[in-house]
Amino acid sequence: MKSYLEKLKSAQERNNSWLCVGLDPQPDRLPLEAVWKWDEPILPFNKAIIDATADLVCAYKPNLGFYLQWGAAGIIALERTIAYIPDHIPIIVDCKTGDIGHTQAAWAKGLFEHWGVDAVTVNPFVGAEAVLPMIGERPSKAVYMLARTSNPSAVDFQGDLRQQQGLSAEVLRRSQGWATAGHKGYVIGATYPEEMAIARELVPEASFLIPGIGAQGGDLETAVRYGPDSVAGPVISASRAVIYASAGLDFAEAARAAAQKLRDQINAARG
């Protein structure tokens, strides 16, 4: 069985890409003429985006919240979207789950076994119990723990990572001691470049999931410099900048063009 990092590396090499596309359907941004003819517009929208970008990405990242806003109908669309994504492309479900042990075991059962996805974002507020039931005994799976999030209010509680102090630094340091069969990766926002350099020092071997490159204006050079781990490149994620590149009938071609441009920018920065 391939490890998560081996699968990620294969996908990165096959498409020459470190770009991950976030599949985050928003009711008010779905292209009206193109998909509202369907009773349930999310799945046809996602299928068109996947068809248009599957040779340009190293992963897809659907965010649970954007599906749940449609209630159960949205989760049905998510389930079918996951089934539609080609097997060789890693799927990271962004749900920032972080409950106590027996609840995390239920999340893991749903995400890793029922849906068969490769990785999940995890919020470590409750400690080791958020992680161990998920990947403690799953060698082919991974979690990405929140370490430094990409948003402005990240500073409220995450401390001063530049000084290696506070919550973000503690998460990076302490979680290194948790023994897991699966891979422990981290979410590090591209919007905090100095912090990313320190994070790479603290966890030299961990995969980084890097949001904040697209609509949030994060720093691509830093992501390329400090992103790679010992096996694979980072997962550099953009959502809105790709999937809503056009609100017209050409939304899929526009998404392809935006993904290609981002992939090429990343590759140019890699040199």
Give the residue numbers annotated as catalytic, written as ranges: 96
- Report how many residues bind a second copy under the rule CB under 8 A: 53
DSSP state, residue 103 = H
- Show contacts with a second copy in window 3-62 (CB under 8 A): 24, 26
Instruction: Report, in angstroms and rounded to the nearest whole number, the Rg of the chain calculated over CA atoms.
Output: 18
- Show contacts with a second copy in window 210-229 (CB under 8 A): none
Q: Which long-range contacts (CB under 8 A, 24 or more apart) does 249-254 make?
A: 249/31, 249/33, 249/34, 251/31, 251/34, 251/45, 251/48, 251/49, 252/48, 252/49, 252/51, 252/52, 253/52
For the stretch 119-158, what's the b/e string if a residue is b when 16 or more beta carbons lie within 10 angstroms of its beta carbon? bbbbbbeeebbbbbbbbbebebbbbbbbbbbbeeebeeeb
What is the H or E stretch that residue 101 is in? helix 101-108
CB of 151 to a second copy, least distance (A): 4
* CB nearer a second copy, residue 19 or residue 154: 154
- Show contacts with a second copy in window 144-203 (CB under 8 A): 146, 149-158, 167, 170-171, 174
Part of the chain binding a second copy (CB under 8 A), chosen from 44-52, 84-92, 105-113, 136-144: 105-113
* Residue 77 amino acid letter: A
CB of 74 to a second copy, least distance (A): 7
Q: Does 127 bind a second copy (CB under 8 A)?
A: yes
Q: Does 111 bind a second copy (CB under 8 A)?
A: yes
Place of tokens 């027996």: 102
Q: Does 126 bind a second copy (CB under 8 A)?
A: yes
At residue 56, what are phi and psi to the nearest 5 degrees?
-120, -5
CB of 92 to a second copy, least distance (A): 14
Q: Are strands 119-122 and 19-23 parallel, antiparallel or unpaired?
A: unpaired
CB of 122 to a second copy, least distance (A): 10
Q: Which residues bind a second copy (CB under 8 A)?
A: 24, 26, 63, 65-66, 68-72, 74-76, 78-79, 94, 96-101, 103-104, 106-107, 109-111, 114-115, 123-129, 146, 149-158, 167, 170-171, 174
